[in-house]
Structure 1
């Protein structure tokens, strides 16, 4: 399976053979044995290279998970040799990185000092994909948007409220509360697609029967810098939202919505694989 994965990555038997350090005839023989055992063709070969069949694509998906599992096994073995009991691979989003995760990790490492933690910060869609591919053990994300995967177990952690961020000179800053209707026609700083935060905003507008902002500017925020959204919200008369902590040089209109943050892990792992 890993040899088939190499062919998929390099697009040819010759390129894959060179990459993994075997001869092309030996690689071809291994693929032939795999196809014979499965009873299906996994590769279509021609003078332009090798292309995965639909069966091959399915197999490559599982091969990627197998590769991740083997890589994790190597890391766990190395850590055990150093006296560390295990590795927790954790996926987080920019918002959860602000307050929740550091506190949780401090408590975890205090109670289990021999555990090593690897943290990956990215958008919700990315870390969930890594979880399903066994590249992560656990992700902290928003709950209630996106598909429900049968192989993912979720556990609600807390309700996180939203705030509206705007300049203190903004026309809406003097209001004691702001409704979605008040925001019609206002320029927004919007999170890019691929995050549960963006989908929740879209759902919130749709539920209220209000059109999605047409004057919004979309920014691909740096996952490592939650403050970007705050800074962009201070430009001109833009407004932005946040589910994170609140602080000082801007105005917040509090309580736009409540959304649940959750921990997600692979269902087979929860059941005790």
Structure 2
């Protein structure tokens, strides 16, 4: 098999037709058809089903395409390694991170590493966990820094815990509750709340906490992202629920109230593909993440 023919197969599968693939490859449709035919002849199986308006991979084609992605990724990593050997302080790294970590922890790692190695180029992709895991499997990202989720249990992945995060109730320094030494969540139900956006992890934790406390979920006048809620809380009028990591990294002028939330700590860490060779620059980032995570693991 020729690498060129495998590249043609990958392009055809992504484009969905021979003609579109020929345009993308800047070649002719007969040349594309010839490459596919040679692959099918070599393997003795049909790789593509032909339809009137395009093509789709067969089961044999999908099996080969999975390995093609791995092979070409390893070649790319090999080129990156060679570049690193020539200049160990330069290169690119592609990191996927969910919103909670993209807003605090990942920028802290980028800041430290960019100061030491200013020629490294960082691509930070912020998406939901499902989209990030899909991008990792497709090898569009080097690794993820995310909270542990059921997706991390995939046998094709490694999850390395960096620290475990908890959620807390926070008030502004001028809020009357900030001076209380003992207080329950039920006592705060009638306060003015700025709640996390529906569908977020923090929102689920908030609803479960109020349910476990035996009170109705507050009729909050505000539902917003963490940054906006922080600004509201610091006015001294609002209460909210935050990740303790976010409060630690932002150092906002707020008081964590002595309220116990019925939630277990949430592990956050690095997700990588098993048996995938990471570039030296990606490994530099992971090493820096471990260093920054050590004091966090002790303080939160």
Which residue in 2 is equivalent to 1:268?
A: 275
Structure 1, unpaired ranges of 5+:
none
Structure 2, unpaired ranges of 5+:
1-5, 279-300
Q: How does 1:41-52 map to 2 (within 5 A)?
A: 41-52=46-57
CA distance in 2, matches of 1:101, 1:143: 16
Q: Secondary structure at the match of 1:265?
A: strand
Which residue in 2 is equivalent to 1:14?
A: 19
CA distance in 2, matches of 1:68, 1:215: 50
The more displaced of 17-26 and 77-86 is 77-86
Q: Normalized against structure 1, the TM-score is what?
A: 0.67
Structure with the higher helix share, 1 or 2: 2
- The answer (yes or no) to whether the contact 1:166–1:233 under 8 Å persists in 2 is yes
Residue deviations 1:68-91 (CA, integer Å, cap 9, x gap): 555555555556555646544333
Which residue in 1 is equivalent to 2:157?
A: 152
Q: Which of these residues, 180, 185, 205, is aligned with residue 201 of structure 1?
A: 205
CA distance in 2, matches of 1:121, 1:179: 36
The count of aligned residue pairs is 262
Q: Secondary structure at the match of 1:96?
A: helix
- The answer (yes or no) to whether the contact 2:97–2:145 under 8 Å persists in 1 is yes
Cα root mean square deviation, aligned: 4.7
Q: Secondary structure at the match of 1:245?
A: helix
Residue deviations 1:10-60 (CA, integer Å, cap 9, x gap): 221011111102221121121122233444323221221222334434444
Q: Normalized against structure 2, the TM-score is what?
A: 0.62
Which residue in 1 is equivalent to 2:134?
A: 129
The more displaced of 41-50 and 113-122 is 113-122
CA distance in 2, matches of 1:240, 1:162: 7
- Distance change >3 Å, CA 13–CA 44, structure 1 → 2: same
